[in-house]
Amino acid sequence: QVQLVESGGGLVQAGGSLRLSCASSGTIFRVSAMGWYRQAPGKQRPLVASITSAGSTNYADSVKGRFTISRDNAKNTVYLQMNSLKPEDTAVYYCRATPWSGVDYWGKGTLVNVSS
């Protein structure tokens, strides 16, 4: 069984920072690509950042230079450091794990609310 639990969201002023965490249970973390997605009301759920099992990263253009994704395999945890936050970053942030099986797993999300 695989379970993903996000944490670290909250209310922050524009220009501030937050660090999101996604803790994974199960045995698939080390062979999984991990990603952070976000969804605002009435919007799609685009990819924000991803990291492969080998540590290669990818970012959406909207967050490049501001967000950093990382993983700690010893803790089965992936992080998203978010700096210089903007109101348009407000969304529910979801963690996704994609192991070799091709079956993806999603967390329930954590809300990030950036005020002006």
Tens of pLDDT, residue by residue over 62-72, are 999 999 999 99
Quote the distance between the C-alpha of residue 34 and its chain's center: 8
Helix (H, G, I), strand (E, B) or coil at 68: strand
Q: What is the pLDDT of residues 36-92, one digit of tens each?
A: 999 998 999 999 999 999 999 999 999 999 999 999 999 999 999 999 999 999 999
How much is the pLDDT for 71?
Answer: 96
